[in-house]
Amino acid sequence: MQYVGDEVFAVFGAPGPLDDHAARAVSCAREMQVAQAAVNDRWIETALPRFELGIGLSTGEVAGALLGSEEHTEYSIVGDTVNLGQRLQQWARPGEIVMSAATFRGAGKPGDAQVLDPARVKGRAALVAAYRLPALTAAADGAAPISPVGGETLA
């Protein structure tokens, strides 16, 4: 949907609702990680540094609207769900996807997801439950995960 600094902000299920928005977000995030791993493999062959992605996914209600002026208007999304997605992204190490409990449930409880210890995030009093999809290595089978880390507190 838009770029925010060095982040890509994408929305599934807005402005029109989608019953499978969480599954689409997880599928897209996995495809992004696979595509980036392929790019990194090519870059390593030419002595370029790897470019690592950590992805945060959050599911919930948001407020969306067209914002701007006559010269420039864009569709924008705001709300706690957006903020939580950014906080979860901070937990994601290179190649990983960290999702909220709502995303985990909405995506059909992906079987390879690892539960993280509930932790505090800025702007929330209650601990946040989250799940991590492990990173794939450059191995041919692409199935070797990086071990999960839980319990971090986000600033």
pLDDT of residue 137: 53
pLDDT in tens, the chain (155 residues): 666 656 778 888 888 889 999 999 999 999 999 999 999 999 999 999 999 899 999 999 988 888 889 899 888 888 899 999 999 999 999 999 999 999 999 999 998 999 999 999 988 899 999 999 988 654 433 433 333 334 443 33
pLDDT of residue 75: 84
**Of 100, 97, 105, nearest in space to 136 by CA:** 97
- 26: domain range? 2-133
pLDDT of residue 152: 40
Give the Cα separation of 134 and 4 in Å (integer).
Answer: 25
* C-alpha of 109 from chain center: 15
- The enclosing domain of 116 has a CATH number of 3.30.70.1230
pLDDT of residue 6: 66
Look at residue 138 and tell me if it is in a domain. Answer: no
**pTM of full prediction above 0.85:** no
Query: Is the separation of the CB atoms in 101 and 135 below 8 Å?
Result: no
pLDDT of residue 5: 59
Look at residue 145 and tell me if it is in a domain. Answer: no
Look at residue 57 and tell me if it is in a domain. Answer: yes
